[in-house]
Amino acid sequence: MNEKIFITDDIVNAREHDKNNYLFIDTIRFDREITLACPTIHQKIGMDYISFCLIMPNGTRFILSNNPGKIAIPYHAHGLSCIDNIFSPDRYEKYTSGIFSPAEIPNDKMGRLFEKIHSENFGINSLLGFSRKYLGYQLITIFSQNINRENSESLLPKKQELYNYTIEFFDQILPFYAHDKSQLKYSRFFQDPIFRKNLICGEFDEKIPNFKDRELQCLYWSHMGKTAEEISIILGLSKSTVR
């Protein structure tokens, strides 16, 4: 990827872009919900920003962040997205257990430019992350600090604290985020909080049943309080099949 095709001023001045022109980008569209989902991130784990990429078994990506840089705006405006590059799954193949430092991850020229802009212009320092891969799902999560904040050199959180906060964040954001995303709403990641916790913590249990898509849809509507008869009408199935 050739960084010369970018106009640096467009990237550095990302704050000047009108967010309303980019509401199809989830990080912009769900800005309010993301903010509400992580109001105490600094008090709880000493971090300021959380960014994640959830990759589904079919390769579809869901990316959200409370990162104020919103670099996705100018990058997308140029027909490219460095966020997609940052979250390329093959970059994290060696880091699917424990915690890693983003500095360990191999970076191309665009990735280095992205990190430089975040550090110099937005005061963002990516410190910790983890990547998980199981049953076709991959979750990449990055935590960052605001280097302009006082006491930004505080002790780094323990890995279990990061896992617990990530679980809490997803519990808060998923009901809003998955509302009109059927693939995510009917996924095992959304439907099964135990699977979600195991994926985040890296504690995979082969005994957990692997539900089919239709079974997950039935479970979702049952969780919403629908009867077997109502579910059969919604999904076009017989009552016996739903049961």
CATH of the domain at 44: 3.30.450
Range of the domain at 172: 3-177
- The pLDDT, as a whole number, for residue 42 is 87
Question: Which of 49, 75, 217 lies closest to 147 in space, CA to CA?
Answer: 49
Q: How many domains does the chain have?
A: 1
Task: Look at residue 134 and tell me if it is in a domain.
Answer: yes
Domain annotation covers residue 214: no
Within-domain flag for 136? yes
Tell me what pLDDT residue 225 has.
83
List, in order, residues 6 or more apart from 26 with CB less than 8 Å away. Answer: 62, 63, 64, 177
Q: What is the pLDDT of residue 177?
A: 92
Residue 13 lies in a domain: yes
**Rounded-to-integer distance, Cα 193 and Cα 197, Å:** 6
- Please report, in tens digits, the pLDDT of each residue of the chain (243 residues total): 444 444 555 555 655 667 777 777 888 888 889 988 888 888 889 899 999 999 998 888 898 888 876 556 666 655 556 666 678 788 888 888 888 888 788 776 666 777 777 777 778 888 899 999 988 899 999 998 888 776 555 677 888 999 999 999 999 999 999 988 989 998 989 988 989 999 999 887 555 566 777 888 888 888 788 888 888 888 888 888 888
- pLDDT attached to residue 13: 60
What is the pLDDT at residue 79? 57
Residue 186 domain-assigned (yes or no):
no
* pTM (2 d.p.): 0.75
Residue 150 lies in a domain: yes
Within a domain: 51 = yes
Residue 72 in domain: yes
Predicted local distance difference test score (pLDDT) of residue 1: 43
What pLDDT does 2 receive?
47
